[in-house]
Amino acid sequence: MVINRRLTLQRKIILEYLQNVKTHPTAEEVFNNVKIKIPKITLATIYRNLQILAKEKQAERLEVNGQFHFDGDLDPHIHFICKNCQIIKDLFYDDLVHYFEKKMETSGFSIKNFKIQCEGICKNCTQEA
């Protein structure tokens, strides 16, 4: 039951967009942006491809306040969500990631992937208060 994926233009543009943007777009936002380059693309195609990309670990799906967002950055990192401005910020804290992986392994779990996300107030918003 192995599927031989084809790199269609649609999939290529979607992936490129996810890899170049730093805003963690929703399916809708991916749609609006990809539509600029492929005007007749439909939401169904966006959904189908996002699902494929997530399943094949070329992108990550994350949930924030009930909405799904997508991230093309595969480097393990933490997502920080500001409760004020709603920005989703990437934090590449390698020591934290390592501590976490180590802990899980010494506890007897073989982990495949993980998600760490936290909410608070970002530096920008703290200053303005």
Partner DNA sequence: CTAACTGCAAACAATTTGCATACCG
Partner DNA sequence: CGGTATGCAAATTGTTTGCAGTTAG
Structure tokens at 94: 């390698």
119 binds, among a second copy, DNA, none (CB under 5 to 8 A by kind): a second copy
Give how far Cα 17 sits from Cα of 13, 23, 29, 71, 119, Å: 6, 11, 10, 10, 26
Compute the least distance from the CB of residue 36 to a second copy, in Å.
28
Nearer to a second copy, 8 or 51 (CB): 51
Is residue 115 within the footprint of a second copy (CB under 8 A)? yes
Distance CA 40, CA 50 (A): 17
Compute the least distance from the CB of residue 100 to a second copy, in Å.
6
Contact 34, 13 (CB under 8 A): yes
Structure tokens at 126: 């703290």
Binding site residues, DNA, CB under 7 A: 3-11, 26-28, 38, 40-45, 47-49, 51-52, 66-68
Which residues 50-79 are close enough to bind a second copy by CB under 8 A?
63
Nearer to DNA, 51 or 126 (CB): 51
117 binds, among a second copy, DNA, none (CB under 5 to 8 A by kind): a second copy
CA-based R_g, the chain, Å: 17
